[in-house]
Structure 1
Amino acid sequence: MPEDDQPFAIVPPAAIRDGRATDAYFRRTEAALDAADRNPHVVAEVTASQFPTGEPALFDGIQDAVHLFEGLPVDVHALPPGTCFDGGPVVRIEGPYRSFARYETSLLGFLSGATAFATAAHELRRAAPETPVLSFGARHLHPSLAAVLERSALLAGLDGFSHVAAGDRLGREASGTMPHALVICFGRGEQEAAWRAFDDGVDPDVPRTALVDTYSDEVDEAVRAAEAVDDLGGVRLDTTGSRRGDFRHICREVRWELDARGHDDVDLFVSGGLGVADLRELRDVADGFGVGGAISNADPADFGLDIVTVEGEPAAKRGKLPLPKQVYRTPDGAHHVGLAHEEGPADGDPLLEPVVADGELVREFDLDAGIGRAREDAALVFEGGSGGEDDG
């Protein structure tokens, strides 16, 4: 029977905190260890790959995951959010195994989804480093994940997002102008009425950007919008893939016609099913992008948790590397994996940092600091310190 009468199928925070948000076999493991009166002191590590693969990802989600360990007799080290990683552990946990066994499912879930969003958003950022990019992907996810998605997008360096409640949670203002539904509510041939209603009705600080591909040719509607609304800030093309043809040519034609009619101050924004390749192709003809599914539909990072010592002795399943490890960033942007008890590279900075000490949180997480870290670390990792652009 359901635990409460809430209308949505959402696991409540209380269930996550008390460890019920877990796979059943961890409960069976607890029962077996209790029956055997066994609770070994272990070191466990979360990894996606044991060795560097040459395909760095952007780490995120630890801001939420650390709260699983509050009040537990464990120490936790982790990469800070916004760190580029490539092989080796992203989290290391030390303590009695029974004290944290049931939290593995939630731990991996917190990390896998957020890291996937952040990595996908960062690929888009690198594809259009000088052009504003907004996250429009919340509609593809369960609503309870919207703030995670938008936070990861910001961490990766995107310029904004569309989800109002996520903005409330993050203390940031959501962005967005009008949907096709607004124009359709006024009817075919009445686009000007819709654009003027938007101009009249929304707060003055909202950018005046008109959607210009609802009923007729993008060029036609763009010019009409620029002439219908005083001080129009921009037009947005959200043309469906089945009607686009050569989308780059359409964008260039819209720009030409606006400029030719004295509307060179009207920006051109593009959205609708865009991915990394689209941003590379359009970044010189568009003034901004809205991207959704390319972020929200990213495959979860394939993290797993493995015990690497038991009572101080090496331990690991086949295919995994025993003993605690540390990972390092060297000045050339390389990611180095080594044993934690040995000296790392002479010029390397250790990346795993204390976040929980004997159940007490010892690190605070600031989104702005994470954004800066992601930008600086990516400059090292992807461009050897020269910047973040990706020419494909």
Structure 2
Amino acid sequence: MTDEFDVVPPEAIRSGRATDAYFDRTVEALDHAGKNPDVVAEVTADQFPTGEWHLLAGLKDAATLLDGRDIAVDALPEGQLFDGGPVMRIEGPYREFCRLETALLGFLSHPTGVATRALEVRTAAPESTVLSFGSRHVHPSLGAMIERSALLGGLDGFSNVAAGDVLGREAGGTMPHALVICFGRGEQEAAWRAFDEAVPDSTPRIALTDTYSDEVDEALRAVDAIEDLDGVRLDTTGSRRGDFRYIAREVRWTLDAHGHEDVDIFLSGGLGPDQLRELRDVAEGFGVGSYVSNADPLDFSLDLVEVDGEPAAKRGKLTGKKSVYRTADGGHHVGLASHDGPADADSLMEPLVRDGEVVREFDLDAAIERAADDAELVGFDGD
């Protein structure tokens, strides 16, 4: 048995080997015919606005893929919201990037779906701490993409350690049920104390308080076991949860009644925007997993819209090179590049690759800020 994981290596992606076979056939046919037309290609999900906003992510990896190619590329900024129209435009000899289409769409489609879901969660609980717990639900090679996209959508942190290494940010987390179970029923205090004594001072003292007995009971016991307890986390399995809001309120009430108003409550386990809206007034923070990580990729396609300077698009696609604009009132407008845009509108297409070199910096903090500002401008509510 091979000791290698079933992962396509980076060099195969860069070289264009991570492609659909019919692109190999396309290059072979064009080469045989001596054709390599200059084209304009656009990456688009919806031709016209639909009223459904998405948050563009994955652009850093897409730029890495296109680096070194004899093409010119323009794209929306990372962290820009869009509703219809192209998010990227590629101009140059078609054979220069033909084989890259499969990987390019993957680099944009999946992260955009994840980032949009993260923004929905962020919008549902704007004042709460919300952490990404979902990388366990996807292939481990995608961990950094999941966590970067979650941060881009506004989540406050993430749990995947290796993703933190890639992103240059520290992963966070406290304890699983397995730690408590390792000490045995009735020995929860021993588990909590071991955690308190072993982990770095910088790690928040958050005790998981629903492993064996009532959440209220374990919360009070955890307060007694750890002198400077920062909070308790409830991750009660759905089959035993009942009314989760009532449970959280009861824990809050009881902690307050015993003088522990400074102990926060964190909730996790199968949560999404609807649950966060319902619970955000009874908890200080949340861990959100599969709702974000398991987002459906956005269905981007790459279409040729001009060939050798002439409009050329297949039936059902809008022909011709296009521009994309944002107006001061948050409007998203798409028009032919040969026509004037709306008055007092900003063009969203910005240079990404020129003369084969990436000409844009990728600052994650700036992209996070852009996403938050644009979400407010366009009135994104996640519904």
8 Å Cα contact 2:37/2:308 also seen in 1: yes
Report the RMSD for the aligned CA atoms in angstroms.
1.1
Q: What is aligned with 1:40?
A: 37
Given candidates 218, 223, 232, the residue that maps to 1:221 is 218
Given candidates 246, 268, 273, the residue that maps to 2:270 is 273
Deviations for 1:12-34, whole angstroms, at most 9, x for unmatched residues?
A: 00001100010000000001111
Q: What is aligned with 1:386?
A: none
- For 1:154-169, what aligned pairs fall within 5 Å after superposition? 154-169=151-166
**Identity percentage over the alignment?**
70
8 Å Cα contact 1:280/1:391 also seen in 2: no
Residue aligned with 1:103, SS:
helix
Given candidates 21, 25, 30, the residue that maps to 1:28 is 25
* 1:361 lines up with 2:350 in the alignment: no
Q: What is aligned with 1:9?
A: 6
Q: What is aligned with 2:80?
A: 83
Show structure 1 runs of 4+ deviating over 3 A.
Answer: none
8 Å Cα contact 1:73/1:95 also seen in 2: yes
Amino acid at match of 1:117: V
Given candidates 127, 132, 140, the residue that maps to 1:130 is 127
Given candidates 306, 311, 316, the residue that maps to 1:309 is 306
CA drift at 1:134? 0.2
Amino acid at match of 1:297: N
Q: Distance in 2 between matches of 1:40 and 1:224?
A: 72
Q: What is aligned with 2:258?
A: 261
8 Å Cα contact 2:120/2:382 also seen in 1: no
CA drift at 1:6? 5.2
Q: Distance in 2 between matches of 1:6 and 1:25?
A: 30
Deviations for 1:295-332, whole angstroms, at most 9, x for unmatched residues?
A: 01111000000000000101111110000111111111
Given candidates 162, 187, 190, the residue that maps to 2:187 is 190
Q: Distance in 2 between matches of 1:361 and 1:229?
A: 51
8 Å Cα contact 1:136/1:162 also seen in 2: yes
CA drift at 1:214? 0.3
Q: Distance in 2 between matches of 1:182 and 1:328?
A: 52
CA drift at 1:7? 1.5
Deviations for 1:89-119, whole angstroms, at most 9, x for unmatched residues?
A: 0000000001100000000000001101100
Q: What is aligned with 1:243?
A: 240
Amino acid at match of 1:200: E
Name stretches of at least 5 consecutive residues in structure 1 with no aligned partner. Answer: 384-389
CA drift at 1:270? 0.2
Q: Distance in 2 between matches of 1:227 and 1:331?
A: 55
Residue aligned with 2:379, SS:
helix
Q: What is aligned with 2:340?
A: 343
Q: Distance in 2 between matches of 1:162 and 1:321?
A: 42
Go from structure 1 to structure 2 and tell me whether the alpha carbon gap of 1:61 and 1:229 turns closer, same or farther (over 3 Å shift): same
Amino acid at match of 1:13: P
* 1:51 lines up with 2:51 in the alignment: no
Deviations for 1:151-202, whole angstroms, at most 9, x for unmatched residues?
A: 1111111100000010111111101000000000000000000000000111
8 Å Cα contact 1:236/1:271 also seen in 2: yes
8 Å Cα contact 1:235/1:267 also seen in 2: yes
CA drift at 1:391? 8.8
Q: What is aligned with 1:333?
A: 330
CA drift at 1:78? 0.5
8 Å Cα contact 1:186/1:194 also seen in 2: yes
Q: Distance in 2 between matches of 1:268 and 1:68?
A: 43
TM-score, scaled to structure 2: 0.98
Q: Distance in 2 between matches of 1:57 and 1:251?
A: 32
Q: What is aligned with 2:201?
A: 204
Q: Distance in 2 between matches of 1:181 and 1:48?
A: 43
8 Å Cα contact 1:270/1:290 also seen in 2: yes
8 Å Cα contact 2:86/2:322 also seen in 1: yes
Q: Distance in 2 between matches of 1:188 and 1:72?
A: 61
State how many pairs are aligned: 383
Q: What is aligned with 1:288?
A: 285
Q: Distance in 1 between matches of 2:71 and 2:84?
A: 24
Q: Distance in 2 between matches of 1:366 and 1:96?
A: 30
Residue aligned with 1:25, SS:
helix
Go from structure 1 to structure 2 and tell me whether the alpha carbon gap of 1:6 and 1:306 turns closer, same or farther (over 3 Å shift): farther
Q: Distance in 2 between matches of 1:136 and 1:156?
A: 14
Deviations for 1:44-73, whole angstroms, at most 9, x for unmatched residues?
A: 000000000001000001111012222211
8 Å Cα contact 2:119/2:382 also seen in 1: no
Q: What is aligned with 1:69?
A: 66
Q: Distance in 1 between matches of 2:170 and 2:145?
A: 15
Residue aligned with 2:88, SS:
strand
Q: Distance in 2 between matches of 1:81 and 1:117?
A: 14
CA drift at 1:358? 2.0
TM-score, scaled to structure 1: 0.96
